[in-house]
Structure 1
Amino acid sequence: MGKKNKKEKKGAGKEKTIQKTEKKANKRAKKELAEKGEDDIEKMIAEFQEKDRRKTQVIEEKCPPPSPRCSMSLTAHPDKEELIMFGGEYFTGNKMYLYNDLLVYNIKKNDWLKVTAPNAPPPRSAHQAVAVRQSGGQLWIFGGEFASPTQSQFYHYKDLWLFSLKEKKWEKVSAPGGPSARSGHRMVQCKKQLIVFGGFHDNLRDYKYFNDAYAFNLDTYTWVQLVVNGNAPSPRSACVLATVADQGKVLVYGGYSKERVKKDVDVGKIHADMFILTPEGKVKEGEQPGKWKWISVKQSGSRPSPRSGFSLAVVGGNKAVCFGGVFDEEEGDEQLNGKFYNELYFLELDTGRWFDARLRGKKTASEKKKRRRRKENETGNVEDGESGSESEEGENDMDMGEEEIRKLAIDKEGTEGDLGDSGDVENDKDVNNEAGMEVDGVTSENSGVGMKEGANSVSMETEQGVESVFKVTIGAQGGENSAMEGFDGATGSEDQAVNVFMPAPRMNALMAVKNGVLYLYGGIFEDGDKQYTLSDMYSLDTNKMEEWNTIIESNLKDLVWVESDSSSGEEMEEGAKGGDSDSDSDDDDDDDLDIDFSDAPERPINEAIKDYFARTKDYWVSKAKEYCDSEGMTLAEKKLEKLAKEMCQESFD
């Protein structure tokens, strides 16, 4: 009985501590919002919606290229030569901006159009958008997040929106049974359904990653959570999701998640595994699958090294192109450095096979003529009087058909990259994870996957901290991929080394494909603690794979980052001046830390809190350690210093 009562008391004490911590956090949050002059986040969103409700007409006007932003959506129009951009966010280092504008890029005219329509969704980022041909063209948007200007508040959406591309009209679709509020999820069209997978929810105090899957029926406007058998991918966000054309299947690759290993200590995990979500059993024509199953994919070919922020766009024929990404080299819970990439890969969606995508460089007329003459001499098909000029114009360097390519690949590997139920991952290359970050889906002891010699991983340093463009020499590579000569961008040993322009390394680039042309917009590059939002734009013909075309040039002068380190000291000073705390005065004693500060160094009346803390930092850090030891916590150095600052401030409140 005594032991039981002791356990109950211990449990009650822990619960009381949690409630006390929660109460204190709420009190501090209210005070901080009051000091910053910031409204409650739901009130902000309501104000945006009310403002949009007052709009009564559709306005279409030409506009300059989009202002800097990231985590928006970029979607190819299902019928027209247009790309549709919606929403996004822009963080300057001390302030967050959110958008809900709809911008249309006309590919042929190379200009932008801003479409303003009544009843638009509130501003958001990290949402998903899918365009379908139904009813003259529709843009579907689900989920996302909203952050306050100071990033002290976050709100996740679970709403579904429809924009009629024909009528220029927004509609909020009310359909019960859909996914919970989230961002960082992925959504694709699979026949007459929208499939949503993964994502995360974070309220600054706790977070949760998802691995559930939902389907929205485009005919009946109803949600259903998929019943899926088999071993599912672990919860994650920011994965790549693609439909396997005409097969009713969906491929999931990679992603990122965090795991709490102990109080206030999180470990990031980069996922490098691959799965297929496929209907289970026979599905009658015109009906939706009732059951699904997860199948683990054995990847093969020239696999990318582990990374997050990887971008994917389907180019057709069950092929996708992938670009960029970042690998955060971590030690324990301290992030040390981010390695950014600007490599291109092709992925066969139905086999899980990877290929290096290398640019040939644009050939001159004389080079094309020499190559054509060589081919004609080899085949003996030279005809008298043939100039060859017309055929040179239309040459796209496709030397082999796909069947020949596939045969060569099978002969070399003995397999096509089978889809099996095994969770093992086939590694055709050496694995090399240089850091201690956990990597999921890689079976090698070292974790990670190595790159071919000359792969474009770059660590860029300039006076401004980032470089906008650079030159890379990409030469002929033999071995496994030589069998893929003629496959979109996979070249053989015949090619000469060429100097080609490549977009700068980045993560979370926006990509869309229209008529075989890949369009790449923006992304993020980090330099230490600075995060730069890119707003450049490029195109690449994936049939020719010759060179990138610059649509919007990158300009280092446009990259903005405002240091916000001083703001913490100013906020501490403002907080020390007091505020409206009468309503909570009865609870002040209960909320104070249970540590004696009577031996604290003396503070002159005219000394600002931030100056006082800088002068007596060692004392407050020692008190923070004392508190952590009493609570059985272990904090990283930065978090410990943050706690020390809070203690210093509260001791003078």
Structure 2
Amino acid sequence: MGKKKSTSTAAKAAKKAKAEKKAEKRTTKKGKKDKREEEESDDDLEAILEKMRQEWEAAHTVTEEVVEGPPSKRANATMTACPSGNYLWYIGGEYFSEDGRAYFYNEIFRYTPEKDEWRTFISPTCPGPRSAHAVATTHNKIFLFGGEFSSLHQTTFHHYRDFWCFDINNHDWERIETKVTPSARSGPRMAVWKHYIVLFGGFYDPGITTKYHNDLWLFDTHEYKWRQIEFRENDAKPSPRSGFSFLPTSDGIVLHGGYCKEYAKGKRPVGVMLDDTWFLSLSLPTIDTTDPKSPTATATSKKSSKASSEPPLQVKWHRLRRPSTAYCPSLRSGCTMTPWANRGYGVMFGGVTDEEKGEEGLESVFHQDLNAYQWPATFTGSAAKGRWMSLTLKKPKKKGVAKKKKVQAQQQQRKANDDSDDENEDEEPDPENNETHIATPAEDDIDPDDPQLTVPIPRYNAMLAVIRNTLYLYGGILERGTREYTLDDFHYLQLDKMEKWVCLRPHSWVFGEGEESEDDSDDDSGDDDESDEDEEDYDDEGENKRDGKKDKKKQVEVVEEPEAEPEEETEPEQEPEDSLRTQAQAFMSAANTNTPENALSTPLPGETLAVFYARSREYWAQTALSTTSSDTRGKALRRDGFALAEERYEEYKPLLKEVEKILAEAGLDEEEMRRSAQAGGLGQQAGQNRNRR
């Protein structure tokens, strides 16, 4: 019995030892496994970090390239002087091609004047393609807000509300995300005052109606926050607008001009050019470090600390008046000023003035003058006055020219006296004849050194920027007749010398290309005869008037020489064509004032006979019923109605073809023509495009 108990105890001890050995083995194995997993985890973390680093570098890798010259044709881009170097920065833009397609860009270029060199910087992280955006510069940063993008045929539109920052040193973009931000818009303006970026105005247009803004926003570059400045209802403030001038000063910001549209029920929108001037006074509260109640005091309390981080700004709009007798440029739009900080001026070039001509539509006058606005040195409220001035080029003084002219005049006078003595020794020379004879060669001579010959051609929406005392001008838009030209020329002018414009690249357009041959010849002859000041008139109406004068002259020649067959053959062709173009323009202008009956019974541009009849079938059936016997029914009535519709369509067919030609030149396809006509927008296509906003 004792032996059996001893054997059982030994077996239990052996079993326990075996179990302990297995447990120890499992613990050792688990420890090795945990150690291995920990090592693998460390390896994975390093791999993750390496992958993240590679992805970040790929997203922020900037490719820098030297390009041959200035950017291609584009409008509504921004050209800005660098805040920390002698450079120009050029961002975005759009181009409306001859085949009616809209192209948008998101490229950023840098121009170095000393080298006459253009570079582009390409980064995977950057703003989307856009135009009509706003930029502001401070220190080594360029801030960008908003803008617009459209479909290829401009049937749908998108407005941005994103906010970006471009680092001038690293050449990379960073998107700034904030909880509060201004609404989506295009055509606003931004300016920098101290450490604030101030944004005002702009428009939102999804393609139906245009809504203009006059809200004011501030972005704090220290705290990276937007906030809107609210005004009381009765406070003075500028009206809603876009395309205005926004110039920063030490005391605030000067706002001038702009453009908007006025909408009235039952009437087509009317473009309004603005020429009012406002001053936005900005000031921080006086710092008092000894008063704990001061919002900017350095108190230790949490409340005071919070108040000091965002001090309340004193913001107020003031309308700046100018004397009625003081000089100012003519009313115009499309002429945003750029600041010339060294003199305290805003510099403006060109612009366009649209004048209503009743049923004939709009007459556009394009400018090429240079003006400057000198804002008040110190702001004293509404009593402060700015001053406008015209900047004109100085003619160079040539040595010996006056003496040479005097000698020539004396020689001419002696020759005239000698001739007069030969004819009649008793008669004295007529001083008036001598004066005219001497002045004629001087008037006919064209001085190649005349600085007026260097002035860029008229335009609106030109991009301007000033580096120190040098004004740079790029591109813009010019219209001739129904055609719109996006310019790509590049010039500069020394503002402190005002000697001449220097062209760094001429524009690449050949004006008149693709237009009627008669219009081309008229434009060329008109340009030869007119001075630089008259060169800005390129409107359709002016061309028609000149054509009419020439036609009258040709008619006289035909009466005097009836045997000249070529003139008898060409004259009947020219007269109806001009008359048809005039009728087409009147048809477009009156499209939105038609009665419902006229709108239903008149074919639209781009409509076929089948589409026109399908749209107005019931009208023509009723008309046929009222003009035929009362027993006409069914197919016979529909046949009579179709005959009336066909007769009306054939009556309007030549006029519709001319209207379609005008709209095709403006970049519309057949579907867009029908939609525009149904919306009553034909009157706007010839003179008011999306650039006039």
TM range (shorter): 0.5 to 0.7
Which residue is equivalent to 1:68? 73
Query: Paired residue for 1:157?
Result: 160
Aligned amino acid, residue 213 of structure 1: L
Alignment of 1:337-356 (within 5 A): 337-350=363-376, 351-356=385-390
Other-structure match for 1:26: none
Q: In structure 2, what is the equivalent of residue 584 of structure 1?
A: none
Question: Quick check: 1:318 aligned with 2:322?
Answer: no
Task: Spell out, residue by residue over 1:555-579, the C-alpha distance to the aligned partner (whole angstroms, 9 max, x if none).
Answer: 333898799x9xx9997569969xx
Q: Number of matched residues?
A: 430
The residue that corresponds to 1:528 in the other structure is 481
The corresponding residue for 2:362 is 336
Does residue 518 of the first structure (1) align with residue 496 of the second (2)?
Answer: no
Q: Distance in 2 between matches of 1:574 and 1:146?
A: 36
Q: Quick one: which of 288, 293, 308 aligns to 2:316?
A: 293
| Amino acid across the alignment from 2:328 | R
Q: Which residue type is aligned with residue 282 of structure 2?
A: P
Superposed CA deviations along residues 78-100 of structure 1, whole A, max 9, x for unmatched, are 12221111110011241111111
Bigger share in strand: 1
What is the alpha-carbon distance in structure 2 between the residues aligned to residue 257 and residue 53 of structure 1? 44
Change (3 A) 1:644 1:196: closer
Uncovered stretches (5+) of structure 2, i.e. residues with no partner:
1-55, 288-295, 297-307, 377-384, 402-444, 517-583, 585-602, 625-636, 657-672, 682-693
After superposition, the C-alpha distances for 1:411-462 in whole angstroms (9 at most, x for unaligned) are xxxxxxxxxxxxxxxxxxxxxxxxxxxxxxxxxxxxxxxxxxxxxxxxxxxx
User: 1:642 maps to what in 2?
Assistant: 677
Q: Output the CA distance in 1 between the equivalents of 2:267 and 2:350.
A: 30
Structure 1 residue 299: Cα displacement: 2.2
Q: Is the 8 A contact 2:490 2:506 kept in 1?
A: yes
Structure 2: which amino acid aligns with 1:319?
Answer: Y
Q: 1:561 to 1:203 in 2, by over 3 A?
A: farther
Cα distance in structure 1, aligned partners of 2:247 and 2:680: 47
How has the CA–CA distance of structure 1 residues 144 and 79 changed in structure 2, closer, same or farther, with 3 Å as cutoff?
Answer: same
Which one of 59, 64, 78 corresponds to residue 63 of structure 2? Answer: 59
- Is residue 279–residue 289 contact of structure 1 (8 Å, CA) maintained in 2? no
Aligned Cα RMSD in Å?
Answer: 4.2
Q: Work out whether residues 349 and 369 of structure 2, in 8 Å CA contact, stay in contact via their aligned partners in 1.
A: yes
Question: Matched residues in 2 for 1:61 and 1:603: separation?
Answer: 68
Equivalence for 1:125? 131
CA distance in 2, matches of 1:620, 1:550: 43
Match of 2:458? 505
Q: CA deviation at 1:188?
A: 1.0
After superposition, the Cα gap between the structure-2 partners of 1:308 and 1:613, relative to the gap in structure 1 and judged at 3 Å, is farther
1:187 aligns with 2:190: yes
Q: Is the 8 A contact 2:352 2:364 kept in 1?
A: yes
Q: What is residue 109 of structure 2 aligned with on the other side?
A: 103
Q: What secondary structure is seen at the aligned counterpart in 2 of 1:311?
A: coil
Q: Tell me the amino acid that sits aligned with residue 459 of structure 2.
A: R
Q: Which amino acid aligns with 1:212?
A: D
CA distance 1:190–1:56, shift in 2 (3 Å): closer
Check whether the contact 2:474–2:490 (CA below 8 A) recurs between aligned residues: yes
- 8 Å Cα contact 2:285-2:313 kept in structure 1: no
* 1:373-410 deviation digits (Å, cap 9, x = unpaired): xxxxxxxxxxxxxxxxxxxxxxxxxxxxxxxxxxxxxx
In the alignment, what sits opposite 2:508?
Answer: 555
Whether the 8 Å CA contact 1:472–1:500 is kept in 2: the answer is no
1:453-484 CA-to-partner distances (Å, cap 9, x unmatched) read xxxxxxxxxxxxxxxxxx999xxxxxxxxxxx
Q: 2:182 is matched by which residue type in structure 1?
A: P
- TM score, norm. by length of structure 2: 0.56
Q: Show the counterpart of 2:15.
A: none
C-alpha contact 2:110 2:119 (8 A) present in aligned 1: yes
Q: Per-residue deviation at 1:641? A: 9.0
Instruction: Work out the CA distance in 1 between the residues paired with 2:346 and 2:202.
Output: 22
> Which residue of the partner structure matches residue 650 of structure 2?
615
Q: CA deviation at 1:331?
A: 4.0
Rate the CA distance shift 1:570–1:304 in 2: closer, same or farther, 3 A: closer
Larger radius of gyration: 2
User: What residue identity is the alignment partner of 1:318?
Assistant: G
User: Which residue matches 1:82?
Assistant: 87
Report whether the alignment pairs 1:276 with 2:290: no
SS at match of 1:309: coil
SS of 1:141's partner is: strand
CA distance 1:644–1:150, shift in 2 (3 Å): closer
1:498 positional shift: 6.4
What is the deviation of 1:158? 1.0
Higher relative contact order (CA 8 A, sep 6+): 1
- The answer on whether the counterparts of 2:604 and 2:674 sit within 8 Å (CA) in structure 1 is no
Instruction: Write the distance in 1 (CA, Å) between the matches of 2:286 and 2:616.
Output: 62
Which letter maps to 2:151? S
Question: Cα–Cα, structure 1 residues 91 and 644, in superposed 2: closer, same or farther, change >3 Å?
Answer: closer
Unaligned runs of 5+ in 1: 1-51, 368-470, 474-495, 578-588, 622-637, 647-653
**When the two structures are superposed, what TM-score results if normalisation uses the length of structure 1?**
0.59
Q: Provide closer, same or farther for how the CA distance between residues 213 and 162 of structure 1 changes in structure 2, counting only shifts above 3 A.
A: same
Q: Match of 1:341, SS?
A: strand
* In 2: Cα distance, 1:280 partner to 1:558 partner: 51
| Identity value in percent | 32
The answer on whether the counterparts of 1:53 and 1:119 sit within 8 Å (CA) in structure 2 is no
CA contact (8 A) 2:279 2:319 kept: yes
* Greater fraction helix: 2
Secondary structure of the corresponding residue to residue 262 of structure 1: coil
Is contact 2:261-2:269 (8 Å) kept?
A: yes
Q: Which moved more, 1:551-560 or 1:179-188?
A: 551-560
- Give the drift of 1:507: 0.5
- Partner amino acid, structure 1, of 2:230: V
Provide the C-alpha distance between the structure 1 equivalents of 2:73 and 2:366, rounded to a whole number of angstroms.
Answer: 20
**What is the CA–CA distance in structure 2 between the aligned matches of 1:181 and 1:107, rounded to whole Å?**
35
Distance 1:570 1:271, change over 3 A: closer
Task: Tell me the amino acid that sits aligned with residue 650 of structure 2.
Answer: R
